[in-house]
A and B are shown apart, each in its own frame.
Chain A
């Protein structure tokens, strides 16, 4: 039983259905929300590692920044229904990073400063669909938005684009990450509205 409040409605926006998945609205904001304090890892101590392959591989910040990087524009979709269109980023493609590792493992668990984790299929990180992003909107990615580097996987709900990412753990089985453990969908395809487990 819920009383309807006269005149109250959700924020409305022009929705181009071909660009915005079902159930989403477009925002110009870029909400800053975290599950913990903003990590402040010094670049001198920062590494990105991929473990679980035949041999672990790790890059320091200078090594990471020496890799070929690309600029991209993407729409991002949050499971809480906001979408932000035409966001611009700069990052290193996961194709480049994963190519340095010898592995057939089908899944990863991404891990981050502060302890956050999220799981993804390797197939969703390759084929030009995922990056480790270090630039946003033409500038260095700020710490509140996940800097110095975050995962960027725009074709999935944005909680999968883990902030403050420090590496990937290759796995033979799909292990749920932080939010997935509490009932969010293991895969998270916004176009099929896979918000929660069982969707």
Chain B
């Protein structure tokens, strides 16, 4: 196949920041009012573009945290020295504008028709698209059984904690946490990085023909995906999405 030069197509839409929710000390969810938003699927992402007064442009991709049918919302983790994340988590306020391209993604998506049982595995901010999937499952009244394993450094870093604990309390989704750096007193959840033993305890048996979604830093995704395959999950039933850098 040959190479070619293509002029970039204009596909950016104007977006206005709506509701802003502080999820943790360093994480915010921003709801976006996007002109001409066509709707999205659970698990998709958007590209965000910010332009400064001097013409400087920065673009980043963020998973959509909201469910299909809700306005698009992104959950952003502030990175130290992060040019875009710093802006989105500390400066941006309702009414501010940016540009959005999307929704993007056809691989890391779930809808009730895909069935299950569903196994969702999140490393750090990898929880964002999985939360969209869980919300979509909830809103559609899907009876697909679901389990979530969420690995984070410490409890204060867990995003959407109340919502996830709500799923747990209602018995609707089995939620397990692995806190890898520090745990609160009396913690009875996992206190280490995800490993094969943990997966064997948490994952649906391969014989149930589960569908797994793994999202987080590359090292997390590769460790978990390999572990699931060792448990007998066919690779085609393990969907992966790798984020940049830093582990949970």
Q: 1/0 contact trace for A1-13 toward B, CB 8 Å?
A: 1111111111100
| Interface of chain B, main secondary structure | mixed
Known A-B contacts A10-B52, A10-B58; A5 and B96 likewise in contact (beta carbons under 8 Å): yes
Contacts of A29 in B (CB 8 A): 81
Query: How far is B52's CA from A160's CA once the two chains are assembled, in angstroms?
Result: 30
Known A-B contacts A10-B52, A10-B56, A10-B58; A5 and B81 likewise in contact (beta carbons under 8 Å): no
A55 → B minimal CB distance (Å): 37
Q: Which residues of A1-43 have CB atoms within 8 Å of chain B's CB atoms?
A: 1-11, 29
Contacts of B58 in A (CB 8 A): 8, 10
Query: How far is B57's CA from A11's CA once the two chains are assembled, in angstroms?
Result: 12
Residue pair A5, B52 in contact (C-beta under 8 Å) = yes
Residue pair B83, A5 in contact (C-beta under 8 Å) = no
For A2, A3, A4, A29, the residue with the greatest tally of chain B CB atoms inside 10 Å of its CB is A3
Contacts of A10 in B (CB 8 A): 52, 54, 56, 58, 83
Residue pair B97, A5 in contact (C-beta under 8 Å) = yes
Kindly report which residue of chain A lies nearest to residue B3, judged by CB atoms. A182
Q: 1/0 contact trace for B126-156 toward A, CB 8 Å?
A: 0000000000000000000000000000000
Residue pair A3, B51 in contact (C-beta under 8 Å) = yes
Known A-B contacts A2-B57, A3-B14, A29-B81; A8 and B97 likewise in contact (beta carbons under 8 Å): no
Residue pair B81, A8 in contact (C-beta under 8 Å) = no
Cross-interface CB contact of A7 among B49, B54, B55, B92, cutoff 8 Å:
B92
Residue pair B56, A4 in contact (C-beta under 8 Å) = no
Residue pair B56, A9 in contact (C-beta under 8 Å) = yes
Q: 1/0 contact trace for B79-98 toward A, CB 8 Å?
A: 00101000100011000111
B86 → A minimal CB distance (Å): 9
A193 → B minimal CB distance (Å): 16
Query: How far is B81's CA from A24's CA once the two chains are assembled, in angstroms?
Result: 17
Query: How far is B57's CA from A10's CA once the two chains are assembled, in angstroms?
Result: 8
Contacts of B61 in A (CB 8 A): none
B99 touches A (CB below 8 Å): yes
Kindly report which residue of chain A lies nearest to residue B56, judged by CB atoms. A10
Residues of A in contact with B, size category: 10 to 19
Query: How far is B111's CA from A72's CA once the two chains are assembled, in angstroms?
Result: 58
Residue pair A4, B51 in contact (C-beta under 8 Å) = yes
Q: Which residues of B72-130 have CB atoms within 8 Å of chain A's CB atoms?
A: 81, 83, 87, 91-92, 96-99
B231 touches A (CB below 8 Å): no
Cross-interface CB contact of B98 among A1, A3, A9, A11, cutoff 8 Å:
A3
For B52, B87, B91, B97, the residue with the greatest tally of chain A CB atoms inside 10 Å of its CB is B52
Query: How far is B91's CA from A5's CA once the two chains are assembled, in angstroms?
Result: 10
Residue pair B14, A4 in contact (C-beta under 8 Å) = no
Residue pair B51, A9 in contact (C-beta under 8 Å) = no
Residue pair A2, B54 in contact (C-beta under 8 Å) = no
B39 → A minimal CB distance (Å): 22
B6 → A minimal CB distance (Å): 13
Contacts of A8 in B (CB 8 A): 50-52, 58, 87, 91
B53 touches A (CB below 8 Å): yes
Query: How far is B49's CA from A143's CA once the two chains are assembled, in angstroms?
Result: 33
Query: How far is B51's CA from A6's CA once the two chains are assembled, in angstroms?
Result: 9
B61 → A minimal CB distance (Å): 16
Query: How far is B55's CA from A197's CA once the two chains are assembled, in angstroms?
Result: 22
Cross-interface CB contact of B54 among A1, A6, A9, A11, cutoff 8 Å:
A9
Contacts of B52 in A (CB 8 A): 4-5, 8-10
Contacts of B92 in A (CB 8 A): 5, 7
Q: Which residues of B contact A (CB under 8 A)?
A: 10, 14, 49-58, 81, 83, 87, 91-92, 96-99
A-B contact pairs, 25 of them (CB 8 A): A2-B49, A2-B99, A3-B51, A3-B97, A4-B52, A4-B97, A5-B50, A5-B87, A5-B96, A5-B97, A6-B97, A7-B87, A7-B92, A8-B50, A8-B51, A8-B52, A8-B58, A8-B91, A9-B54, A9-B56, A10-B56, A10-B58, A10-B83, A11-B81, A29-B81
